[in-house]
Copies of this chain bind each other. A is one copy, B any other.
C-alpha cells in the first residue's frame, strides 16, 4: 500500500484563493479557468484535474467564502461569559467594519445570485444562515434569561437581526464614502439594541 503525501487539498485551496481574486477583480463572467490558471502560472487543465468540472469548483468556492463568516465572531466570543458582553461583541462585529471587509460584495452577491438556480449552492447558503440563526437564538435566549434584554421571541428577533445585517451589507455596497456607512452601521446597531430592549 503505497502512501503518498496528500497535497491535493492544499493545491485546491490555492486555486480557490486565486479564483476568488479573479472573481473580485474581473467579475464572475470573466473568471474563466484560463484566467485563473494564467494568474497562477499553471495550465488550465490542472484545475480540471483537481475539480473535474468548473461547476463543482464554483460550488467549493461558495463554501470557501461562506466559511469565512462562520469563522468570524465565534473565536471572538471565546472566553467571554457575560451574555450582555457576548451580544455586544456580536453586534459590533456584524455592524462594524470587520464584517464588511471579510468578503467582497461583488463576489458575495454573484454567488448568492447563483443560489437561485443551483441547488447545491442554495443549500450552502441555507446551512450558513441556519447556523447563524442558531447561534443568535442561543445568545438571545441567554440574554432574556439573565434579563439583559426584554422578553420576546428569540427566533423572530434572530431573523430580524439577520435581515437587517444583510440589508446593511447590501445597501453599503452602493455607498461611496465609508464615513457614511460606518455611521449607518452604528445607528443600526443602536436600533437593534432598542428593539431588543437593551439599555443603550
State whether B164 touches A115 (Cβ < 8 A).
no
User: Interface range on chain A: under 10, 10 to 19, 20 to 34, or 35 or more?
Assistant: 35 or more
List residues 92-108 of chain A with CB under 8 A from any CB of chain B. 104-106
Q: Specify which of B29, B113, B187 is in contact with A160 (CB 8 Å cutoff).
A: B187
Q: Are B173 and A162 in contact (CB under 8 A)?
A: no
Write out the residue numbers on chain B whose beta carbons fall within 8 Å of the beta carbon of A166.
Answer: 166-167, 170-171
- Which residues on B sit within 8 Å (CB–CB) of A29? 28-29
Question: Which B residue's beta carbon lies closest to that of A114?
Answer: B27
Nearest-Cβ distance from residue A21 to partner chain B, whole angstroms: 14
Which of A122, A166, A184 has the most chain B CB within a 10 Å cutoff?
A: A166
Separation of A43 and B151 alpha carbons in the complex (Å): 63
**Does residue A129 face the partner (Cβ distance < 8 Å to B)?**
yes
Residue in chain B with minimal CB distance to A130: B174
- A40 an interface residue at 8 Å Cβ cutoff? no
B105, A116: Cβ atoms closer than 8 Å: yes
User: CA of A112 to CA of B170 in the docked complex: distance in angstroms?
Assistant: 9
Complex alpha-carbon distance, A117 and B104, angstroms = 12
- Among residues 158 to 193 in chain A, which have CB atoms less than 8 Å away from a CB atom of chain B? 159-160, 162-171, 173-174, 184, 187-188, 191
Tell me, in angstroms, the Cα distance from A188 to B184 when the chains sit together.
Answer: 19
Residues of chain B lying within 8 A (CB to CB) of residue A27: 113-114, 116-117
Residues of B near A170 (CB, < 8 A) are 112, 163, 166-167, 170
Q: A164 vs B165: C-alpha distance in the bound complex, in angstroms?
A: 8
Assess the A195–B191 pair: CB atoms within 8 A. yes
A129 touches B167 (CB 8 A): no
Interface status of A125 (Cβ within 8 A of chain B):
yes
Q: A39 near B: Cβ within 8 Å?
A: no
Q: Which residues of A contact B (CB under 8 A)?
A: 26-29, 104-106, 109-110, 112-117, 122, 125-126, 129, 156, 159-160, 162-171, 173-174, 184, 187-188, 191, 194-195
